[in-house]
Amino acid sequence: MADTNSDTVPDGGAVDSDRPPDESMDHGGIIDIERLPGGSRLTAIRADLVRKYEGYQTLDESDKESIRRWGLGSIVSHWVTVVAMTAAAITGLMIWTGLYGPVDVGIWGGYQTAFTIHVWMGLLLAVVALVVFTYYHRVVDKHRLLLSTSQLKEQLVIAFALVGLVRYIPGYKQARRAYDEDREHWVGYHPAQTAFWYALWFFVLLLTLTGFALWAGLATDPAWWVSALGFMQGWLPFERMLQLHLVATFLTLATIAVHVYVAVLPGNRDFFGSMLNGTVEAWVVDEESRPEPADPTAEADPGEAKDDD
């Protein structure tokens, strides 16, 4: 006969309905994560994050207000980056395959047009992605650029939550939409966003350096600045340099594809919209209204939990 005092949870297990769940220690995974190597450490990390963020679940939806997340400089430079990357990728594919389509005009059969667009769009991409957007992102809009230890821990738990090995951090979605007025930064800043920029900066820099090396190798009398930026020319045979440029291109596009996929997920569409209008509906917290982390020493003894009303 079934136990009437237990409820079935989504993963198929059962919990005692008379016992309040300890969200910090019940990782909620599809398997007992603590049986895996390092699993107990992951459980402890998640418990710390739960205590840090679960209080943000109590924020009232009616208290949200329109908060500026991105300034005009960040928005414009972001979309210029998108246009430059798209144009450089398409024209690069044209040069690689020899299929020039709409730019197949003139005596060069489209090559010169595609090459010119590719070079200047690539240069625009490098300047905007590496310098302009970074300036507006960090200096003007005051977003974080450095990946903190706390963010690395959050990314670890989020990655395991993505594959169902632990439950998502309660309150973290609300914390990402909470701006701390006293500390002048967003309470939760998704670590994958910071990691994305690291990857993009690295690949764009690699594309720029290998691209200039290829340009310097092709030109009969390159300008001084092409030779200077193409200092890697001669480090590798031309064919190997071209292969490295192509690999960097595909890795860049793969990184951007993941970024786009995450951006259009239902739970992130408000953030996607903020890159269009600059604002997001969020909470403003300060010293008085900020949910404080739970005190682990104040938690009830699990053995006595059944006696609580």
Query: Any idea what DSSP says for residue 132?
Result: I
The residue extents of the domains of the chain are 27-70+141-292
Q: What is the mean pLDDT of the chain?
A: 80
In the structure, what pLDDT confidence band is assigned to residue 6 with cuts at 50, 70 and 90?
Answer: very low
Q: So what's the pLDDT on residue 297?
A: 54
Structure confidence at residue 257 (pLDDT):
92
35 vs 162, higher pLDDT: 162
Predicted confidence (pLDDT) per residue in 47-100, tens digit: 888 888 888 998 989 899 999 999 999 999 999 999 999 999 999 999 888 888
Q: Which of 221, 262, 218, 264 is nearest to 239 (CA)?
A: 218
pTM, to two decimals: 0.75
Radius of gyration of the chain (CA): 25
Range scoring the smallest mean pLDDT among 29-33, 141-145, 160-164: 29-33
User: How far apart are alpha carbons 229 and 123 in whole angstroms?
Assistant: 11
Residue 306: which pLDDT band, with cuts at 50, 70 and 90?
Answer: very low
**Rounded Cα distance, 208 and 241, in Å:** 12
Which of 16-20, 153-157, 265-269, 271-275 shows the highest mean pLDDT?
271-275
Distance of CA 15 to the CA centre of its chain: 35
pLDDT for 225? 85
pLDDT band at 13 (very low <50, low <70, confident <90, very high): very low
Q: What are the tokens at 157?
A: 């738990």
